[in-house]
Structures are given as structure tokens and as C-alpha cells.
Amino acid sequence: MIFFTGFLVGIVSLIPGISGGTILMLMKKYETISYAITHFKEKESYPILFFLVLGIFLGTITFARIIELCFFFFPQATFLLFSGFVLFSLPNLIKSENIKLNKSFFFLGMSIIYLLSFFSFQTTTVVLDYPKITLLFLFLFCFYGTIDGFFTILPGISGSMVMMILGPYFLYKSYLANLSIETLSFFIPLLFYFIGDFLGFFLGSKVSLYFLNKKRKLFLSFLFGMVFMSAILIFPFQIFQSKALLIYVALLIVSFLIVQLLNAFN
């Protein structure tokens, strides 16, 4: 079950709008895996972490090519679908927590994500020209992996959504989608990204467990603000000028139904 949970986390780690932490909660493995990550030196954690890492790796490798093709052929529709996941998930997340949002922390979360969007360095959804692999690049890619892992483990917020706003998401996705015998050099930046990813898992587990226990209302208000602004930033507003508006409306309905299906199993 840990392997299957990791496999699902690997898949959703490539889907902006669906949180890896949320999947862990849906599978009722959040506390087990968070404890194993934060206590990785204990022998009981070894098999849990092994099957988790194996599942995440295989999940990302399996699904990366599908996401790559979606962005290549249907970029606006893909952005819309992912944005819909977030916008329709947020009310249910707030309702499930049964808390009254703190407006100050909600807007603080929105502001941070909005400011982060100004640091985005990647504008193309499908990468064809790969950067030169240098020590500086590997360090930065590891750093972005840490940010991704940090947010991925937090319940309710998507690490890949944050990465999409900052920019590395598309490069990371392209490395995964095009990894083969001919492109073994892609494994080097991916290795650094994965190292950062699991460092982020560790830090995110520590932070989330602490603040969820000590300052739950303020922490969740902050997270929900980040989630909301993330969805707004990737929403393709140009669809309102498209002749295929009805198709996009249908996609929004599909994203709504998927969210309701996920909530039904919660």
C-alpha cells in the first residue's frame, strides 16, 4: 500500500492543482509517512521510505510523457483543467477543516505567491532547448526541488503549481518525459532535483506537523491563500475570446466532477 500511495503521489506531483499531501490524507497515510520522513534514521522507517521513493519515481516516469503531450497539443485546455482542480478543491478543503479563515494570513499567502511569479524564468510549456549542465545550474535545480518537495508534502497545496509559477516545472517535466538511453545526461539534473525533493519532504513534514498542531487556523489560512492565488495565476483568461468556449466550459465541469469524486473517497 505504501508503494501504491507513493505511485499516486508521483503522478499528482506532475499535476498542478492536486496536492501530494492531500493524496496522503486520502489514502490515510499522511501521519505514517510524515513520521517516517521526519524519523528517517529509525529502522522501522527504512521499508516505508524505500517503497515510497520507488513508487514516487515510477509514478513520475510513467506519467511525465502524458503531461508533456497535453501541454504540447492542448496548452490552454491543460492550464484550465489544472486551475479548475484548485478552484473547485479549495471550498471543500476549507469546509473540511471547519475553520473561519484569517483574512490577514489568507492575503499574505496570496501576496507571496504573486510575488514569486515575478521570478519565473521559464515561459514555454514544452522545452526543446535544454540549458547547459553546470554546477550552478545543478545547485539551483536542487534548490527548486527542495521547494517542490516542501510544498508537495503540505496538505492542500500543490508543489508543482508553485513550480509552474516559478518556472522549473516545465524543464523538470521535460527531463522526465524524454529520459531514455540516448538522453542519460538528463539523469544528472533529475538526481539533484530528487535530492532536493526529499530534503523538501523532510522540511515540509517538520513544518506542517508543527504548525498544524500549534497554529492550525493561521497556517491553513496562509496555505489556502497560496492555493487560491496559484490557481488565478495559471488560469488561461484568453479562453473567453475563443470560439471554442463551450469546450472549455465542459473541461471546467470535468475538473469539478474529478474533484467531487476525490472528495467522495475522503
Q: Is 149 helix (H, G, I), strand (E, B) or coil?
A: helix
**Helix, strand, coil distribution of the chain in percent, nearest 5:** 80, 0, 20
Q: How would residue 107 be classed by pLDDT, with cut points 50, 70 and 90?
A: very high
Q: What is the pLDDT of residues 220-241, one digit of tens each?
A: 888 788 778 877 877 888 888 7
Domain positions in the chain: 2-74+83-264
Packing angle, helices 187-214 and 168-177, rounded to 10: 130
Q: What is the pLDDT of residues 143-197, one digit of tens each?
A: 988 988 887 777 666 677 777 777 787 888 788 888 777 778 888 888 898 899 8
Question: Among candidates 256, 67, 72, 93, which has minimal Cα distance to 163?
Answer: 67
Q: How far is CA 193 from the centre of its chain?
A: 14
Task: Work out the end-to-end distance of the chain between its first and last CA atoms, rounded to an integer number of angstroms.
Answer: 17
**What is the distance between the alpha carbons of residues 260 and 266, in angstroms, rounded to a whole number?**
10
The x, y and z cell numbers of residue 142, run together, are 536542487
pTM: 0.65
